[in-house]
């Protein structure tokens, strides 16, 4: 019986060591995944909410195929206010179809008219359209210039429209940063607990 006990004790210790090793590996894998998720959440929050809000950009959704392939339907674009004197050939700008009315189009500038009387205007065309837009765009119609875009998320922007958007964006930003804070604090607590367990094991 004694020989049996002596033989099995090392096996039990090896098995326990393997379990500890597996748990340690799973812990670090989980920690790495949590860190990657945290980084992704923070980056998305910055790109989609914080940076545009600070800069004063307007989020808009591409609804037609006129700007394919770069900006297919469902693309979320951010438009920054721009001085019309700074608009250049090749810029994608957003303009009101009729001055003072909410309906807008985002197309590329293919020509700029600068007559002697100073009444500047712009000729625009969708990248996927064969013909330019029917009427020249006047400075009063220009709402801004394309800053950057995010694929597919425009559908979400359209679903959360109107008066709902302002408080939902603020609530989403708060939730994302609360989650980020939770991930950081829980990671620090877990790391501290692990160090404490190691110090007890050494003693």
The correct CATH number of 78-153 out of 2.60.40, 1.20.140, 2.30.30, 3.30.70 is 2.30.30
Give pLDDT tens digits along the chain (203 positions).
555 544 444 655 565 556 556 666 666 676 677 677 777 777 777 787 788 888 999 999 999 999 999 999 999 999 999 999 999 999 999 999 998 898 999 999 999 998 888 789 999 999 999 999 999 999 999 999 999 999 987 776 666 655 555 565 566 667 766 776 777 777 777 777 777 766 665 55
- What is the reported pLDDT for 6? 47
Do 134 and 98 meet the contact criterion of CB atoms below 8 Å apart?
no
Domain map (residue ranges) of the chain? 2-54+169-202, 78-153
Q: How many residues does the chain have?
A: 203
- What is the reported pLDDT for 71? 95
């Amino acid at each position: 019986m004694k020989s049996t006990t002596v033989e099995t004790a090392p096996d039990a210790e090896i098995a326990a060591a393997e379990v500890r090793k597996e748990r340690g590996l799973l812990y670090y894998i989980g920690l790495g995944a949590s860190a990657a998720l945290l980084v992704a959440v923070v980056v998305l929050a910055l790109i989609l909410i914080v940076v545009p809000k600070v800069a004063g950009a307007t989020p808009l959704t591409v609804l037609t195929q006129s700007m394919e392939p770069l900006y297919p339907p469902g693309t979320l674009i951010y438009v920054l206010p721009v001085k019309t004197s700074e608009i250049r050939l090749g810029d994608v700008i957003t303009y009101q179809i009729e001055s003072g009315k909410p309906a807008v189009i985002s197309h590329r500038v293919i020509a700029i008219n600068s007559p002697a009387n100073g009444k500047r205007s712009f000729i625009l065309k969708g990248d996927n359209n064969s013909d330019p837009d029917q009427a020249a765009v006047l400075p009063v119609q220009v709402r801004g210039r394309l800053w950057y875009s995010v694929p597919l998320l425009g559908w979400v922007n359209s679903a959360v429209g109107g008066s709902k958007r302002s408080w939902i964006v603020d609530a989403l930003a708060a939730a994302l940063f609360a989650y980020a804070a939770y991930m950081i604090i829980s990671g620090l607590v877990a790391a501290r607990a692990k160090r404490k367990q190691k110090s007890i094991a050494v003693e």
